[in-house]
A and B are shown apart, each in its own frame.
Chain A
């Protein structure tokens, strides 16, 4: 028993522990093996996720396509509001008919002008008066005052008939095509300016940042209040775009 310097003390410990062995518990290897297992299969879920996301995209597309019928009506309402197309109708009507001029001068706003266009597309030439009233009722839905002036006056004016008979082809086709084009080209910049109001807007915003292609990966129509519907999909082999239809 004598005093031991630090170096000696340390060396003794080192010697004792240098080849020390303590047998681990029997089940330890099984635990390690279990922990190693997941790494082997890690590549699988990526394929599964890819497959799943494609499936989701396709089903979403099918679902939204079915609900499109409802969407179409909503589009027509917005189409009627678009002004440029109705101006076209005014021009064509003015060139061909003297009577329509009188109608337009009577009511100086654009509202009455729309009556010939509506009539032209829907009305059969037999019951002019009834049809005319029908057209007027349509207009009153839009709460414009000038229509009420017309309620009284145009009833006396018979020659509205000519408008119907001469122009039907021009008026019937033009507005629909024009409005369809105008509507879509106008809604796009609007949705971008609107800011983010719903999930569709968020998706559009993110896709805009990420996907610089002309046809985006996914594009939602977010005009409606609640229901955003898919307007375009572009996953390489699978392309779907409402604008093209």
Chain B
């Protein structure tokens, strides 16, 4: 209501650098939903994700003066979000070594089609992964980190990063097949 003009993300940059509260809010409104989706992938649940989101934005507004314009502004914001999520994970390494029962799953032989599954469904599956698997999966597959980078960031070996990734894939496929089966079953029923 107060702000009649809508800005693009890049137009918010100068105002944010100047510490203008209205421009900060505008940037938040433009980017928050996307960033929450990022945080959700790294978090166990929505509450944890929103905590990370909040920390991330506070960090963004405090560090925005350091943004030199290499790469897109949105990409920079996203990077800070991912880093905040990883930091938060490292701070609560509580369940790192708890290996879930699903670990016993084997690579499914059958292929599947999950175009019918929505993003929300996949999000649920990802969030069910053990913390370590979820980290490696997100960092490698979605964010495009190398195994070497992941190993350095999380303080594990490259081999561990690789094996955790393939296990994460296997678990995800298994879970998706289960969901599809459930979906067909309900359709059929």
Residue in A3, A31, A36, A40 whose beta carbon sits within 8 Å of that of B111 in the complex: A3
**Main SS of the interface on chain A?**
helix
Whether the Cβ atoms of B54 and A22 lie closer than 8 Å is: no
Whether the Cβ atoms of A16 and B54 lie closer than 8 Å is: no
Question: How many A-B pairs with Cβ below 8 Å?
Answer: 78
User: Measured between alpha carbons, how far is A89 from B53 in the docked complex, in Å?
Assistant: 85
**Main SS of the interface on chain B?**
helix
Answer whether residue B37 sits at the interface, using C-beta atoms and an 8 A cutoff: yes
B81 to chain A, nearest CB (A): 12
The count of chain B contact residues (Cβ–Cβ below 8 Å) is 34
Contact with A along B84-113 (1 / 0, CB 8 A): 000000000000000000000000011111
User: Measured between alpha carbons, how far is A35 from B61 in the docked complex, in Å?
Assistant: 11
Answer whether residue A48 sits at the interface, using C-beta atoms and an 8 A cutoff: no
A117 to chain B, nearest CB (A): 74
A101 to chain B, nearest CB (A): 87
Whether the Cβ atoms of A20 and B114 lie closer than 8 Å is: no
User: Measured between alpha carbons, how far is A10 from B166 in the docked complex, in Å?
Assistant: 11
Contacts of B21 in A (CB 8 A): 33, 36
User: Measured between alpha carbons, how far is A219 from B173 in the docked complex, in Å?
Assistant: 76
The count of chain A contact residues (Cβ–Cβ below 8 Å) is 28
List, sorted by A's number, 19 A–B pairs whose CB atoms are closer than 8 Å.
Answer: A1-B110, A4-B173, A6-B169, A13-B122, A16-B119, A17-B119, A17-B122, A20-B37, A20-B119, A20-B123, A22-B37, A25-B50, A28-B32, A28-B54, A29-B29, A29-B32, A33-B21, A35-B54, A36-B21
